[in-house]
Amino acid sequence: MGRLKKALLPAALLIAAYWAVFGGEYTVLDLYRMRATRAEQAAEVARLQAAIDSLTARVDSLENVPEALERIARERYGLIRDGETLYRFVPIDSSASDSASGPGSGAMTNPAPRSGPTPSR
């Protein structure tokens, strides 16, 4: 009986240690995976927060700085002020330039005053 007790105690300790490391709801390996996932998610949160800050600054700029709104109206939508002339430069396509009637043909369209909504200061 004494031998059995001496053999069972180390076996019970090994089983308890195994259960503590690999058993239960979350194993040690699960904890390492969760820590790695947590680090990845923290990096993603930081990236998204930076994007939110950038967009908030842009909204603030568009709401409070008229020059920023005018710049977007000019660059994105081609709006001009009264009395200004708009020149649009069209890139020359290499296949189209072979069949063009002259040098520089199609490189610049005719200037035309624009009408319609214009940004005001």
Q: Do 59 and 32 have their domain in common?
A: yes
pLDDT greater than 70 at residue 120: no
pTM of this prediction?
A: 0.48
Within-domain flag for 19: no
pLDDT digits (tens, 9 = 90+) for 7-16: 888 888 888 8
- pLDDT, average across residues 98-114: 52
- 114 versus 9: the higher-pLDDT residue is 9
Residue 5 falls within a domain, yes or no? no
Same domain, 40 and 64: yes
What gap in Å lies between CA 104 and CA 121, rounded to an integer? 37
Same domain, 37 and 75: yes
- CA dihedral sign of residues 23, 24, 26, 28: negative
- Between the alpha carbon of residue 33 and those of residues 28, 37, 39, the distances in Å are 9, 6, 10
Q: What is the pLDDT of residues 22-50, one digit of tens each?
A: 777 778 888 899 999 999 999 999 999 99
Q: Please tell me the distance from the alpha carbon of residue 114 to that of residue 110, in angstroms, as a whole number.
A: 12
Determine the structural domain holding residue 37 and report its residue range. Answer: 28-79
